[in-house]
Structure 1
Amino acid sequence: MVLSSKLLSSVLLAVTYASLSAAFVANGVPNHSTHRTRHISRELKLETFHPATTYETFGHGLASDVSLDSRAPKDLNSTAIAFVKSRLGLEDGKVAYRSGFTDNNQKFAYVRQNHNGIPFINAVANIAWKDDKVVSFGSSFVKPTTIASSKATVSASSLISKVEEAFDATYNGWPTTTQYLVKADGSAALVHTIQVQNEAVNSWFEVYVDAHSGEIVSVTDFVAEATYKVLPITKRAPTEGLQVLVDPQDTVASPAGWHTAGTTSYTTTQGNNVIAYKTSLTGTTAQSATGLVFNYTYDDTLAPTVTANLNAARVNAFYLINTVHDLAYRYGFTEASYNFQVDNGSNGGKGADPVRISVQDSGGTNNANFATPADGQPGTCRMYVWTYTSVRRDGALENDIVVHEMTHGITNRLTGGGTGSCLQTTEAGGMGEGWSDALAEWTEQKSATITDYVLGDYVTDDAAGIRNYPYSTSTTTNPLKYSSVKTLTEVHNIGEVWANILHNVYAALVGKYGFSATAKTNPDGTEGNIVYLHLFIDALKLQPCNPTMVTARDAWIQADVNRYAGANKCLLWKAFASRGLGTAAASYVDSALVPSGC
């Protein structure tokens, strides 16, 4: 979500899985890391709960003599289960493998707690290996005080109408499942999972209903609210000038180009990675001349809805989502790691899930959003018209807004192994907003000169943009630091803290290693912006479900060990510590400490 904010120390794991008492925060510290309040309607408010996550990183990896299960043979399934059982002291049948993938010399596995053959929704773990040694392990496994019978007494089909009414939405036909859900009181409920959507208001929920009592107990919200002739991705707004780009696709990431999906080719704003439309999926923009020429000029002195402007908006949206798909692919957001494509070929993951981007969506104004369901279901981005100017402006023509939204899809898919449901706590949701701002900033950097960054200034016609402060290395310009989170409750405000921390990490890396102008298509360089985006993407794969800023920081440090043998350890620690995320940072208390030797 790109909504205007103005409008509105790792814990070492025990050998047994955690008691639920660890999930609650005392002494007035907000429980952003385990809870989030969802206001579904005036009548329905749900306090969603996610058990506290513990997270370990192991530098160059657990030595093979620590445990035979720390190694990763070809059978990732059994190895992941064996490692978690050994690490947490669990019996057979208590761990279920969900998914995993291999990326060069790294392997990633995602598992769930299990009882009587039924997996838990929110008690999960993730393991990463490098060179067949475990390098990180995150877990929210719990020991429930009570656990419901595994045989449902109320059918899922009998509950669909109740869920539809409560959420003012319609069951979307996605198969229902039965799973366990850990509740904040320590019990484990057996629940049916039912997906409902309301296209008119762009709501998309996975609802968890007690399979014995029929009570709605929790929810996952898939929507991250917000926030040819095109505006090149390095630019922010039409004031910088549209350009005609010839063959901008990256054929490494999109080998069949942008207009072919499987055996079907299109001459519209539709292809393997994205379909850009208005009102309905058939409302695409056709080529303006044969040979896939899309040459439409945008005139912001005219209403966004005039035909030429609408066509230009769809073309720009199509170009941007494809470009972010391609650059993210280069850095590791591939089919196997749960990206968005109609046809995955033989490269792993689930297909049939391109991004659908609705331009000038009628569901709202002055905003944008992105719904990220699990791998295999299309992501949906909605771009709205903004009303702050006398002639309204189109969010699809401010590049940072579109990139911000697409990044929600990336972070929600890479965190937790493709579920789309691992950035659901208040803190993790806020960090999602921060990552989205940070990648938008990355795409618009043009040189090694580090300048303050403002987002959303075109659609609002306000030089200050839509955030409270510019992102800056200056504590005078932007005073936000880790401890600021303690007084914040709104996810965009929390996201500003994380985005500004990442701005300082970016500045440190580019300041040391320089800038590559070809970073979007060549990830093999040693320049600072390339190093930054590698660590950005790598850390998402490593971090646990519902991360905190502390565990996400640790994932960045571990990602540097995995990819660069820890060459940037001190630089990263100093950058994080400069905004309060030093080694002793915890419970929103700042730390400027860095490891010995730094």
Structure 2
Amino acid sequence: MLPFSRLFAATFLAIVYASVSRAAPHENNVNHATHRIRTVGSRGLQLETFHPASTYQTFGEGIDHPLRKRDGTTLQDSAVTFVQSHLNLTSSEITFKSGFEGQVARHAYVKQSANGIPFANAVANVAFNKDGKVVAFGSSFVKPKTIASPTPSITLNAAIAKAEDVLDGTYNGHPSSIQYLAKSDGSAALTHAIQIQNEETGTWFDAFVDAHSGELLHVTDFVSKASYLVLPITKQNLTQGFETLTNPYDAISSPNGWHSTGTVNFTCVVSGNNAVAFKGTNSSLTAQSSSPLNFLYTQNPATQPTAGSNVDAARTNAFYIVNTLHDVTYRYGFTEAAYNFQSNNFGKGGKGGDPVTVSVQSSAGLDNADFATPPDGQSGLMRMFLWDYTSPERDGALENDIVTHENTHGLTNRMTGGGTGACLQTLESGGLGEGWSDAMADWIEKTSSAVPDFVLGTYVINFSTGVRGYPYSTNPKINPLKYSSLLTYREVHVIGEIWANMLHNVYAALVEASGWSSTARTNPDGKEGNVMFLHLMIDALALQPCNPTFLDARDAWIQADVNRYQGANKCVLWKAFASRGMGMNAASYGDSAAVPSGC
């Protein structure tokens, strides 16, 4: 989602912070990492969701596990056996969820179980290097004081009715399940897990209803609230000029192009294997302007976005951006096996049938954008809105950094936690999600080795300071945010600014140390700083635990560097993180400038 970090007065657009609660000076917001308060339903129910705290360990060059030297061992066997031995559990207390072979590591995701029933929010992830050693382990497994009976007292239909009523939505038919839910009081509740949607309001939840009391206990919110004549992805918005691009797809990432699933060819509309862009319903598509497959629609900024060919220009641009991001991130490891978004997975792992659906000029809102990320196998839904700060209004689908921001929510929600879409749900991890989205927009638009300050969302509001509190900058006088700023902020988007600025500084340090590649978007094989940055960002997503903290995310970056580059960037990374308070001794939102010996 891309709400403002600023509100604009009707007169001079005076800037003030929005949606930020300031804590007492010495208050330690420990619940950032385990809780999140959500307002759900039209009656304004305040629901505090709980996610057990994760422990997270990285092991550098790796440690042995019981089955490492045994022939014919599967990833599932290795993961379950390691978790069993490491946490002193029985194999019946562990359920394998999913796994995949990444570019430099194998990743497995498991759930805690009791009475043959998995827990929804007690999960673990294990990463193995190419030598078969364990290099990272995250766990939120719990030791419940009490466990509810495994036999439900209320029916699934009763649970559906309860969830629909409270959440103002409708059960969408996705298969329900019985799962245990770890509660903050130390008990484990039995729940019916049901997906509830409201297409009109854009909500999409996985609802957990107590299978004995009928109470709604918990939700996973899947929504993260921002030849073709297009704006090339290196351009931020339409003021920089449209260009005609011919065959811009990457043949490695999209071998059949952007208009074919391999079995179905979309010969004249903006639909294909990775994405479909529409206005209204997904049958309302932009048709080619001429044959063959030309989508050449001139946008007229002097008229309303809904007028003339402006709708077609917006759909075309959104389709181009989402497909380009698919192709770039595919090269860096967001593949079928790693739970990406494709209709046809070509037998390469993961679940198909889930291209990104892009609703352009959605009538559901204004001055915003959002992205819903359900589990692998269900399509992600991006909604782009109009912005009414100017006359005529402006179209968010024509500001590339907003489209990139929203699309990146799909990447981060899918790769964290093994394709569940449920592992960035706490306040702190949700903030990380917003930060990665801004960081991707920052990365994708670079055209040289220069690292200027980056400002997001200037076009849609027609204001040079954009929609964030500060520009992203290496200069602390321009952007003072650091790790301890988490003590001040309690809203995911401003928390995200802290992480995005942290990564802006990491990017700058890597580019300064190792140079810059002009072909990074299509060639991930170099050792230049911008190439390494995106590799490490995406590798770390799969390594980190469910609902990571800032420190977990940092540690995953350090481990990712060991896995891929044998730790060559250790000091560069530590110094960059430490420059913004995330040095070795950072803890409980207290800053540290300490770096490892030798750095």
TM-score (norm 1): 0.95
Q: Aligned residue for 2:13?
A: none
Answer yes or no: is the 8 Å Cα contact 1:72–1:133 preserved in 2: no
CA deviations over 1:316-340 (Å, ceiling 9, x no partner): 0000000000000000000000000
The yes-or-no answer on 1:570 pairing with 2:563 is no
Q: Once the 2 structures are TM-superposed, how far is the Cα of residue 104 of structure 1 from its aligned partner?
A: 4.1
Q: Once the 2 structures are TM-superposed, how far is the Cα of residue 271 of structure 1 from its aligned partner?
A: 0.2
Q: Aligned residue for 2:115?
A: 116
Q: Aligned residue for 1:11?
A: none
Q: Aligned residue for 2:225?
A: 225
The one-letter code sitting in structure 2 at the alignment partner of 1:585 is A
Answer yes or no: is the 8 Å Cα contact 2:67–2:78 preserved in 1: no
Q: Aligned residue for 2:152?
A: 152
Q: Aligned residue for 2:129?
A: 130
2:485 and 2:45 map into 1 onto residues whose CA distance is: 30
Q: Aligned residue for 1:273?
A: 274
The one-letter code sitting in structure 2 at the alignment partner of 1:186 is G
Q: Once the 2 structures are TM-superposed, how far is the Cα of residue 67 of structure 1 from its aligned partner?
A: 4.1
Answer yes or no: is the 8 Å Cα contact 1:69–1:86 preserved in 2: no
Partner SS, residue 405 of structure 2? helix
Q: Aligned residue for 2:21?
A: none
Answer yes or no: is the 8 Å Cα contact 2:423–2:547 preserved in 1: yes
Q: Aligned residue for 2:557?
A: 556
2:125 and 2:280 map into 1 onto residues whose CA distance is: 39
Q: Aligned residue for 1:88?
A: 87
The yes-or-no answer on 1:204 pairing with 2:204 is yes
Q: Aligned residue for 1:101?
A: 100
Q: Aligned-pair RMSD on alpha carbons? A: 1.3
Q: Aligned residue for 1:484?
A: 485
Q: 1:292-331 residue pairs with structure 2 within 5 A?
A: 292-331=293-332
1:593 and 1:72 map into 2 onto residues whose CA distance is: 43
Q: Aligned residue for 2:286?
A: 285
Query: Cα gap change, 1:277/1:186 in structure 2, threshold over 3 Å: closer, same or farther?
Result: same
Answer yes or no: is the 8 Å Cα contact 2:338–2:419 preserved in 1: yes
CA deviations over 1:206-262 (Å, ceiling 9, x no partner): 100000111110000000015x10000000011000000010000100000000013
Answer yes or no: is the 8 Å Cα contact 1:373–1:420 preserved in 2: yes
Q: Aligned residue for 1:13?
A: none
Q: Aligned residue for 2:416?
A: 415
**Which is further off, 520-529 or 319-328?**
520-529
CA deviations over 1:537-589 (Å, ceiling 9, x no partner): 00001000000010000000000000000000000000000000000111100
Query: Cα gap change, 1:484/1:276 in structure 2, threshold over 3 Å: closer, same or farther?
Result: same
Answer yes or no: is the 8 Å Cα contact 2:159–2:211 preserved in 1: no
Q: Once the 2 structures are TM-superposed, how far is the Cα of residue 487 of structure 1 from its aligned partner?
A: 1.1
Q: Aligned residue for 2:254?
A: 254
Query: Cα gap change, 1:105/1:450 in structure 2, threshold over 3 Å: closer, same or farther?
Result: closer
The one-letter code sitting in structure 1 at the alignment partner of 2:168 is D
Answer yes or no: is the 8 Å Cα contact 1:150–1:190 preserved in 2: yes
Q: Aligned residue for 1:176?
A: 176
Q: Aligned residue for 1:428?
A: 429
Partner SS, residue 323 of structure 1? helix
Residues matched between the structures, number: 578
Q: Aligned residue for 2:58?
A: 57
Q: Aligned residue for 2:591?
A: 590
CA deviations over 1:485-538 (Å, ceiling 9, x no partner): 111001000000000000000000011111111111100111110010000100
Q: Aligned residue for 1:21?
A: none
2:295 and 2:339 map into 1 onto residues whose CA distance is: 30
Q: 1:356-505 residue pairs with structure 2 within 5 A?
A: 356-505=357-506
Identical columns (%): 59
CA deviations over 1:351-394 (Å, ceiling 9, x no partner): 00000000000000000000000000000000000001121000
2:145 and 2:597 map into 1 onto residues whose CA distance is: 41
Partner SS, residue 261 of structure 1? coil
The one-letter code sitting in structure 1 at the alignment partner of 2:409 is H
1:462 and 1:176 map into 2 onto residues whose CA distance is: 46
Runs of 5+ unmatched residues, structure 2: 8-17, 19-25
Answer yes or no: is the 8 Å Cα contact 1:71–1:134 preserved in 2: no
2:161 and 2:5 map into 1 onto residues whose CA distance is: 36
Query: Cα gap change, 1:71/1:450 in structure 2, threshold over 3 Å: closer, same or farther?
Result: farther
Q: Once the 2 structures are TM-superposed, how far is the Cα of residue 72 of structure 1 from its aligned partner?
A: 9.5
Q: Once the 2 structures are TM-superposed, how far is the Cα of residue 301 of structure 1 from its aligned partner?
A: 1.2
Q: Once the 2 structures are TM-superposed, how far is the Cα of residue 83 of structure 1 from its aligned partner?
A: 0.3
Answer yes or no: is the 8 Å Cα contact 2:106–2:128 preserved in 1: yes
**Which is further off, 411-420 or 70-79?**
70-79
The one-letter code sitting in structure 2 at the alignment partner of 1:173 is G
Q: Once the 2 structures are TM-superposed, how far is the Cα of residue 71 of structure 1 from its aligned partner?
A: 8.0
The one-letter code sitting in structure 2 at the alignment partner of 1:225 is K
The one-letter code sitting in structure 2 at the alignment partner of 1:401 is I
The one-letter code sitting in structure 1 at the alignment partner of 2:420 is T
Query: Cα gap change, 1:43/1:466 in structure 2, threshold over 3 Å: closer, same or farther?
Result: closer
CA deviations over 1:100-158 (Å, ceiling 9, x no partner): 01124521000000111100000000000102110000000000111101111111122
Query: Cα gap change, 1:27/1:464 in structure 2, threshold over 3 Å: closer, same or farther?
Result: closer
Q: Once the 2 structures are TM-superposed, how far is the Cα of residue 164 of structure 1 from its aligned partner?
A: 1.1
Partner SS, residue 260 of structure 1? coil
The one-letter code sitting in structure 2 at the alignment partner of 1:112 is K
**Which stretches of structure 1, 4 residues or longer, exceed 2 Å deviation after superposition?**
26-30, 66-74
Answer yes or no: is the 8 Å Cα contact 2:222–2:374 preserved in 1: yes
